[in-house]
Structure 1
Amino acid sequence: MLQTVTILVSGKVQGVYYRQSTREKALELGLTGTVKNQPDGSVLIHASGPAQLVNQLIAWCRQGPDRAIVSSVEVTTIEPLAFLGFTIVR
């Protein structure tokens, strides 16, 4: 079953290649979506794909890349959305 989620990751997640690492992990899993830095220092992710693979991305987000320090991960399931690939929004 396809699932689309919004993931809001807080902590030291900007300036540590979090967006690029998220994109690489999502592509590895075959997911589509977007990742974007937020003005408050968090990272906002929209991810769409098979629920099991989306859950793997969520689990990865709880740790992130080596230099990240994740303090919280908020996940919201939303209406399914179609994305072309997985892109970094600047």
Structure 2
Amino acid sequence: MANSAGSRKRARQAEKRRQHNASLRSMARTYLKKVIKAIEGGDKAAAEEAFKTAQPILDSSVTKGIFHANKIARNKSRLSAKIKAMA
């Protein structure tokens, strides 16, 4: 356990940040799942709408350092390709 006052404060801050980041990560994953569910449901309009709402959330999670930029770019690319393949 932390001994000095400064290190105790650091531990408190780290725990608060960890919980906040976990919340943001969970939210981003939820939006991804909504897009995937719409794609699997076969409803192209719903899939496009879900993708449109998920995109800014995923992008902001990258700028906040929650996910790596390439991972989100890969996910967005694959999802948009699946949506375009629906005809």
TM class, shorter-length: 0.3 to 0.5
Structure with the bigger percentage of strand: 1
Q: Which has the higher contact order (CA 8 A, sep 6+)?
A: 1
Larger radius of gyration: 2
- Relative to total residues, which structure has the larger helix share, 1 or 2? 2
